[in-house]
Amino acid sequence: MGDSPGEGFGTVVGREEAVAAAAGPEDQELDSVINGNDLLGEDEDLVEVEDSDDDLADEAGEVEGADEDLADEADEDDEDSEEDDLSSLEDEGDIAADYIEALLDIADLDGDIDMDVEGDRAVVSVVGATLDELVGDEGEVLEALQELTRLAVHRKTGTRARLMLDVGGFRVRRRAELADLGRSVADEVTRTGEPKKLRAMSPFERKIIHDAVAVAGLRSESEGEEPNRRVVVFPAG
């Protein structure tokens, strides 16, 4: 055999090719599955997913911030609405006070006028020693005067007023009397188990009866037409 280089030997192959040639089919399949470039591509995909999650989190934070801004604006709107309502009621009270003051001057009656806001209505009170003629025996004159005052306010504001007029503390005393009556009737209906119909009352008086009966755990309704509308108290159940 000759001694010339390469003679008697096969073609020289590289290391990687030799390893590939020596590897079995299963190893080649595994190598094709576990490919570094493929894994790198998957890592890049994961990074993109993570970036997408971060973007979604940022968007969620922006939405939450917008919701908080809307809630703050709603609270401010509610506060503005309450202030507007209070201002409107105070205006009603001022108009009513001016009307009553002019009426007292015409009737040559003395009285001090107080104005306040209770709940959702203005309250105008006339305090004096000689004002029984503005109340009447059962408050009928006071009710008529209150309606005239409400009409005067309506003509000025264009909206129906729910203001309450009191003269000489009549309504304060009447409120206490009617609350006692409501509790007494509730006790009677509970004891007898029979409904009880009361005399005709004004809306102001009926409201006090309804409240007292409700506190006692019974039910009451108003029936009839004004001015003969009255409260009926029913037993529980």
Q: How far apart, in whole angstroms, are the C-alpha atoms of residue 23 and residue 36? A: 18
pLDDT band for 132, please (50, 70, 90 cuts).
confident
Q: Both tokens of residue 120?
A: 């959702």
pTM for the whole structure: 0.61
Mean pLDDT lowest for which of 41-45, 95-99, 131-135, 203-207?
Answer: 41-45
Task: Output the furthest CA–CA distance in the chain (Å, rounded).
Answer: 153
pLDDT band for 237, please (50, 70, 90 cuts).
confident
For the chain, domains (ranges, CATH) are: 84-168 (3.30.300.20), 172-234 (3.30.1370.50)
Mean pLDDT of 90-103: 95
Query: Each residue of 156-204: pLDDT tens digit?
Result: 999 999 999 999 999 999 999 999 999 999 999 999 999 999 999 988 8
pLDDT band for 138, please (50, 70, 90 cuts).
confident
What is the structure's pLDDT at 95?
96
Query: Each residue of 97-112: pLDDT tens digit?
Result: 999 999 999 988 888 9
Q: Both tokens of residue 171?
A: 């309504």
What percent of the chain has a predicted confidence (pLDDT) above 70? Answer: 64
Higher per-residue pLDDT: 11 or 188: 188
pLDDT band for 28, please (50, 70, 90 cuts).
very low
